[in-house]
Homo-oligomer: A and B are copies of this chain.
Amino acid sequence: MKFNTATPIYQQVVADLKKKIVNGTIHPGDKLPSGRDLAVEYKINPNTSSRVYALLEEQGITYTKRGIGTFVIDDENIVDILKEEMANHLLTFFMNNMHELGYSSDDIIDLIRRNEKC
């Protein structure tokens, strides 16, 4: 995985794991790799792994059993909730900024349609 230097690595890994949960690569209830394994997988420092899992836990996406491992919350709804939450976040950010630039909702839909054809 290639990291963007602008944003912190741990945030990028968090985002990547979330995407994997949303698109079904990782399932609710699954055990995530150990901190050390995650470090190897993403070529990061184990401390950075800790931070990743700490953040996911803080956001209520995972829980951790001491000495055993970190697990995705075992609730099927989490996938849809995460998906909607992230989509909404993107959507409002996008729409607000476009409106501020002077684009109406119809303008935006046109842009998307045109973009789609390319």
Contacts and interface: CB of A to CB of B under 8 A. Distances in A.
Interface residues of A, number: 30
A101 B19 contact: yes
A8 B7 CA distance: 11
A117 to B, nearest CB: 10
Secondary structure of the A contact surface, majority rule: helix
Contacts of A66: 5, 8-9
A105 B107 CA distance: 15
Nearest to A86: B101
A58 B9 CA distance: 20
Interface in A84-118: 86-87, 90-91, 93-95, 97-98, 100-103, 105, 108-109, 111-113, 115-116
